[in-house]
Structure 1
């Protein structure tokens, strides 16, 4: 920026100096000055017109970008990649190809639930297919209106769906098994429709098997279905399960085997999610810290579900629900014990329900003050735990000894109100200098579609994660963290 001595529109003034510049009164010089002044005005006018022309252009860039973000992406390249998977070939030898064995779990399309409920279902069904020597059939994730990250006006004449490989990678999405594993690879639903037309499918009604399994342990349920699918002579099988198996404690007995299964070990982050995290990696560095191989080694992530979740919490209270799926693993801290069921002869049921609601809401929908207290305690217990030291990738170079750092807080929340701002302010007052939320992430149109998977991967990578025990999102983060080898002390619940 520079400053002229003369005002843009000069008025009669006393002669004054401006540095070494002096205003002369010679007629020829005066004419020359007038000429230069006119040229200057013309130049300014021309520049002003260019600026006026440039303003809509520069403003149009974010407007166009926002518009494209609100329009569902087509994922043309990714869909083409899925179509061209090498296992989509009729000439492949058994157990793939035209004579292969396939199983389609239609429940993952039939039930209108969120991504994390379906992911949990997909992973277990992939494992069941693998153990039955059948190809798992994967498909697009079909969104419900309440979960899609765009307004309904963006898809009035279209049901929003996202390719599975946008969310995850690995065998569940058509990726290869390990060398030496001869199990058939997963195939897309489109390929399944080619190799297994509806007229050639065996439809298994789960009602025929459910009665004796209604209260059976998870291992018994799994082994029963594994035997049925292994022994079935038909190459094409279609089943519709329900999702309620995961809502109680029966699944816990499957953990030890599922954790080391190739489905868990080979489950990976999609390239799209990786690109979103790389794009926003800088947000997780703090000033004065050395460059780190993994900046998430000093991040504490919290899952703060709000909004419509209060209704879900009240339903859990009414049903005396336990935590969800892997959140129930016995070696994890912060257990929740539902109150004992009351008999019908209790005189004041409304009072009991009210007491239950308070108990559940304290853990399921914690207040801002409770969140701050829990974050403070989890941070202290993690840093003071002597059983393990800081990761090699993030060490305080100012300390003589290896010392863990935990100075970046990431908030995953669906809250879009001032409540989240108030929470951030309370956390800042409690000593958090760097706080990042999902609002701060810069995502393109495709990355926005998988924002929930981006959050999940940040939760997986973080040094400490605090989640909601009744949440399928939290359960999936717990699964990934434990498979990665994260310590139980680094996994907490409200």
Structure 2
């Protein structure tokens, strides 16, 4: 009996020790990931001061717009909406009232300053923290803008071009349903120019990107050292269940992956939204399909022998790393490259998101670094169901990039 109790106690002690180690590891990861409170506090204070200075120096006839904003979704879901809001404000001659990002990368709901990530929408605009100081309640005109998807953009432009000084949009106009329809195609010509002229990362993001290209020896038009590379976004993790839902509802690609100019960029067989199997094949592609997409771009860029893989591997998605290593092994195989018709042999170097030199307190910016490295690559392979992939594709086209250098699996 005593021996049995000792065994149970030893097991319980081992279990408690294991749980304690996990908790310590989680706490360490949390501390390592999050930027200092002082940094975010300083940026929030700076946003307020710059906004007040802009108001103080204004002529008094400026018009403002404050939008109902998506909160708590992934970075690129929030960013694509914010950029569209800023673009809409600019073309209707209004000052954009920007809001914080609602950020949940550490399992918490926290408001972080937008300027920590994106500089463009925080220039010559004002923070929501001072909106009431320039637009008292008595001067605010509240409006719903949502109509049918085809007329949504024109309706928004028409209303915001009016004479009301302070407009608050009370409905969510760029919802996910709208962003997956051809209605957004009317936005693209002006939005492409907006990206070319107004898109800008924060200094923190650009610093990590420059450090990453140096360490990983990735050449681009911005960073001349290193070797040219192809980037691929391997969207896995928790995406499988999401893809099953999309297939069940017969949902097509999202946002800019639906642009007519990019339809020839879709790897054959083309997406058939009436066929759930076709949706699954594009949303959660097999390793063979991913390899076919890489081969397509490798043949178009025979001198590029470096591949950088953007992925969402993490402690709770360890199988992503297994798929990455399987992919890397195949791409470095001489015989396979020869069969695929690669004139200069297999890939020589393969790097990944996990190799990016993210320092203490910099994890919040990792997703931005992935986007920018995809934007700067010689060619890009992405997933038409992913906001990260479509964001990269839009930025590449905004830079004057060629549609043929983009492939959607």
Q: CA 1:227–1:339 in 2, change beyond 3 Å: closer, same or farther?
A: same
Partner of 2:162: 231
**Larger C-alpha radius of gyration, 1 or 2?**
1
| Partner SS, residue 233 of structure 1 | coil
Partner of 2:301: 382
CA RMSD of superposed structures (Å):
2.8
Partner of 1:444: 359
Match for 1:68 among 6, 31, 41?
A: 31
Matches within 5 A, 1:143-292: 143-144=103-104, 148=105, 150=106, 152=107, 155=108, 159-170=109-120, 172-173=121-122, 175=123, 185-206=124-145, 210=147, 214-216=148-150, 220-242=151-173, 243=175, 244-261=177-194, 264-285=196-217
Partner of 1:114: 74
Matches within 5 A, 1:402-481: 405-415=303-313, 416-431=317-332, 432-481=347-396
Match for 1:309 among 229, 234, 239?
A: 239
> In 1, Cα distance between the equivalents of 2:67 and 2:388?
21
Partner deviation per Cα, 1:462-485 (whole Å, 9 max, x = no partner): 111100011111111111111112
> In 2, Cα distance between the equivalents of 1:63 and 1:239?
39
> In 1, Cα distance between the equivalents of 2:331 and 2:101?
40
> In 1, Cα distance between the equivalents of 2:102 and 2:259?
30
> In 2, Cα distance between the equivalents of 1:169 and 1:139?
13
CA contact (8 A) 2:52 2:130 kept: no
Matches within 5 A, 1:336-347: 337-339=270-272, 341=274
CA contact (8 A) 2:141 2:164 kept: no
Match for 2:66 among 92, 96, 104?
A: 104
> In 2, Cα distance between the equivalents of 1:468 and 1:296?
27
Structure 2 stretches lacking a partner, 5+ long: 1-24, 333-346
Normalising to structure 1: TM-score of the pair? Answer: 0.66
Normalising to structure 2: TM-score of the pair? Answer: 0.79
> In 1, Cα distance between the equivalents of 2:312 and 2:94?
38
Say whether residues 1:321 and 2:251 are aligned partners.
yes
Partner deviation per Cα, 1:42-88 (whole Å, 9 max, x = no partner): xxxxxxxxxxxxxxxxxxxx999856314453223322332222664
Partner deviation per Cα, 1:336-367 (whole Å, 9 max, x = no partner): 755375xxxxxxxxxxxxxx332222111112
Number of aligned residue pairs: give it: 359
Partner deviation per Cα, 1:253-303 (whole Å, 9 max, x = no partner): 221122123x542211211111111222233328xx9xx942476111111
| Partner SS, residue 168 of structure 1 | coil
CA contact (8 A) 2:55 2:134 kept: yes
Structure 1 stretches lacking a partner, 5+ long: 1-61, 176-184, 342-355, 384-404
CA contact (8 A) 1:410 1:436 kept: yes
> In 2, Cα distance between the equivalents of 1:65 and 1:303?
28
